[in-house]
Chains A and B, each alone.
Chain A
Amino acid sequence: DTAVSQTPKYLVTQMGNDKSIKCEQNLGHDTMYWYKQDSKKFLKIMFSYNNKELIINETVPNRFSPKSPDKAHLNLHINSLELGDSAVYFCASSAPGRTEAFFGQGTRLTVV
């Protein structure tokens, strides 16, 4: 059983397109995150949701819009994709009051 699962694992798309990445966790956690890992492997938080409520919104272009339909799901929609959006996007989750984060396997997004 995968604890934090993301789909798709790979995504290749053209500039200007709109795409979504889905994330689901079956750990019963209340908090979910999106992290971006760039080509140099640097990991940086993008968003955090707690019980479907947006908690952290880093300085991310508003082309990126997270949506949390319930506390087990956090999706990421990206409009008007740009070359610089190419990266690996990781979903993560943590339990209430805990800082240990569990990461999904990542979605490698390539914009051509």
Chain B
Amino acid sequence: QQQVKQSPQSLIVQKGGISIINCAYENTAFDYFPWYQQFPGKGPALLIAIRPDVSEKKEGRFTISFNKSAKQFSLHIMDSQPGDSATYFCAASMDRGSTLGRLYFGRGTQLTVWP
């Protein structure tokens, strides 16, 4: 059973545009929601993360919006650049007991930014 659902599977955006990737989860025990960026041949790298006590977190051009009641969160990339072309994964985790640190990943979004 897919714990975290991610869409779209692929996204093509023009340079300077806004990229939006959406994720949804069911398990209300999740309390940490990171986004990872992966370039070809590399491991996933933490991009930005949010906890459910805030509705938005911004770091540079990257913003996470979080809707606790809808159990949804999204990544917005403003002023998208060709260098942002990568696969983006949302994930969820529980800060609790033996599952600490275990990440449940979405299936990824392949982002292509055209120059």
Contact = CB atoms under 8 A, between A and B. Distances in A.
Interface residues of A, number: 26
Given A44-B105, A94-B101, A99 B41 contact: no
16 contacts: A31-B100, A31-B101, A33-B102, A42-B107, A43-B103, A43-B105, A45-B102, A48-B101, A55-B98, A92-B43, A98-B101, A99-B34, A99-B100, A102-B46, A103-B44, A104-B43
Interface string A68-99: 00000000000000000000001010100111
Nearest to B2: A42
Q: Is the interface of B mostly helix, strand, loop or mixed?
A: mixed
B29 to A, nearest CB: 13
Contacts of B95: 99
Interface size class of B (residues with CB under 8 A): 20 to 34
Residue of B34, B41, B44 contacting most chain A CB atoms (<10 Å): B44
Interface in B33-69: 34, 36, 38, 41-46, 49
A105 interface: yes
Nearest to A93: B101
Interface of B: 32, 34, 36, 38, 41-46, 49, 87, 89, 93, 95, 98-103, 105, 107-108
